Structure 1
Amino acid sequence: MHVCVLGAGIVGLATAYSLRRAGHEVTVVDRASPGSGASGGNGAQLSYSYVQPLADPGIWRQLPKLLLSPSSPFKLRPRLDMRQWLWGTQFLAACNGTTSRNTTAQLLALAASSRQSFEAMMNQEKLDCDFSASGKLVLYSDGASFAAACRQMLLQRELGSTQEAVNADRCVEIEPALKSRHAQIAGAIHTPGECAADCQKTCDALLAVLRRQGVRFLLDTPVRQLVLRGKSVVAVATPQGLVEADQYVMALGVDSPRMARALGVHLPVYPLKGYSITVEVDEQARTAPAVSVTDSARKVVFARIGSRLRVAGMAELSGYDTTIAPAQIASLKASAQTLFPKCSAFADLSPWAGMRPATPTGLPVIGRRPGAPTNLLFNTGHGALGFTLAFGSAQRISGLLSH
Structure 2
Amino acid sequence: MHVVVVGGGVIGLSSALYLAREGLQVTLVERNEDIALETSFANGGQLSYNYVAPLAAPSVFANLPRWLLASDSPLRLQPRLDFQQWRWCLAFLRACRASRVERTVSEMLRLSQRSQMLLEQLLQRTPIDFNLRQTGKLIIHRSQASLGAAVRLAELQQQAGSQQRLLTPSQCSDLEPTLSGVVGQLAGGIFTPAEATADCRLFCEGLKRHLDGMANVRFKLGQAVSGFTKMGKRITALKLGNETLEADAFVIASGIASVGLLKPLGISLPLYALRGYSLSVQLADANALPRLSVTDASRKIVYAPLGSTLRIAAMVDMGVRSAEAPKRRIDLLKAQVSELFPALDLRRAQAWAGLRPATALGKPIIDRAPEWENLWLNVGHGALGFTLACASGEMIARRIIQGRPHESDAPFSLAAHR
TM bracket, shorter-chain basis: over 0.9
* Other-structure match for 1:395: 394
* Other-structure match for 1:217: 219
Q: State the 1:336 CA deviation.
A: 2.5
Q: State the 1:319 CA deviation.
A: 3.2
Q: State the 1:26 CA deviation.
A: 0.5
Contact 1:55 1:361 in 2 (8 A): yes
CA deviations 1:30-59 (Å, max 9, x no partner) are 111211111111000000011111111112
- CA distance, structure 1, for counterparts of residue 322 and residue 77 of structure 2: 13
* Other-structure match for 1:25: 25
SS at match of 1:190: strand
- CA distance, structure 1, for counterparts of residue 190 and residue 100 of structure 2: 22
Q: State the 1:265 CA deviation.
A: 1.3
Contact 1:7 1:30 in 2 (8 A): yes
- CA distance, structure 1, for counterparts of residue 285 and residue 113 of structure 2: 32
Deviates more, 1:294-303 or 1:252-261: 252-261
* Other-structure match for 1:121: 122
* Other-structure match for 2:305: 304
Q: State the 1:315 CA deviation.
A: 0.5
> Which amino acid letter does the alignment assign opposite residue 192 of structure 1?
P
* Other-structure match for 2:109: 108
> Which amino acid letter does the alignment assign opposite residue 383 of structure 1?
G
- CA distance, structure 2, for counterparts of residue 276 and residue 52 of structure 1: 19
* Other-structure match for 2:11: 11
* Other-structure match for 1:379: 378
* Other-structure match for 2:346: 346
> Which amino acid letter does the alignment assign opposite residue 261 of structure 2?
M
CA deviations 1:160-214 (Å, max 9, x no partner) are 1111111111111111111111111101110001001001111111111111113
Q: State the 1:324 CA deviation.
A: 1.1
SS at match of 2:235: strand
SS at match of 1:132: coil
> Which amino acid letter does the alignment assign opposite residue 257 of structure 1?
V
* Other-structure match for 1:135: 136
Contact 1:282 1:288 in 2 (8 A): no
User: Once superposed, what is the RMSD of the aligned Cα atoms?
Assistant: 1.1
Q: State the 1:340 CA deviation.
A: 1.9
Contact 1:279 1:308 in 2 (8 A): yes
* Other-structure match for 1:249: 251
Q: What are the within-5 Å matches in structure 2 for residues 1-400 of structure 1?
A: 1-32=1-32, 33-214=34-215, 215-239=217-241, 241-284=243-286, 286-342=287-343, 344-371=344-371, 373-400=372-399
- CA distance, structure 2, for counterparts of residue 109 and residue 253 of structure 1: 22
- CA distance, structure 2, for counterparts of residue 170 and residue 390 of structure 1: 33
CA deviations 1:234-274 (Å, max 9, x no partner) are 00100251111111100010011112211111211010000
- CA distance, structure 2, for counterparts of residue 124 and residue 338 of structure 1: 43
CA deviations 1:129-166 (Å, max 9, x no partner) are 01100100011000001001100100011111111111
TM-score under structure 2 length normalisation: 0.94
> Which amino acid letter does the alignment assign opposite residue 282 of structure 2?
E
- CA distance, structure 1, for counterparts of residue 331 and residue 122 of structure 2: 37
Q: State the 1:282 CA deviation.
A: 3.7
Contact 1:53 1:104 in 2 (8 A): yes
Contact 1:280 1:346 in 2 (8 A): no
How many residues are matched?
A: 400
- The runs of 5 or more residues in structure 2 that have no matched partner are 403-418
Q: Which of structure 1's runs of 4+ aligned residues deviate more than 4 A?
A: none
Contact 1:84 1:319 in 2 (8 A): no
- CA distance, structure 2, for counterparts of residue 131 and residue 77 of structure 1: 36
> Which amino acid letter does the alignment assign opposite residue 380 of structure 2?
G
- The runs of 5 or more residues in structure 1 that have no matched partner are none
- CA distance, structure 2, for counterparts of residue 213 and residue 121 of structure 1: 15
> Which amino acid letter does the alignment assign opposite residue 388 of structure 1?
T
- CA distance, structure 2, for counterparts of residue 59 and residue 340 of structure 1: 25
Deviates more, 1:291-300 or 1:346-355: 346-355
Contact 1:66 1:74 in 2 (8 A): yes
CA deviations 1:85-125 (Å, max 9, x no partner) are 11111111111011101110111000011111122222321
- CA distance, structure 2, for counterparts of residue 322 and residue 287 of structure 1: 30
SS at match of 2:350: coil
- CA distance, structure 2, for counterparts of residue 60 and residue 348 of structure 1: 36
- CA distance, structure 2, for counterparts of residue 88 and residue 347 of structure 1: 36
* Other-structure match for 2:412: none
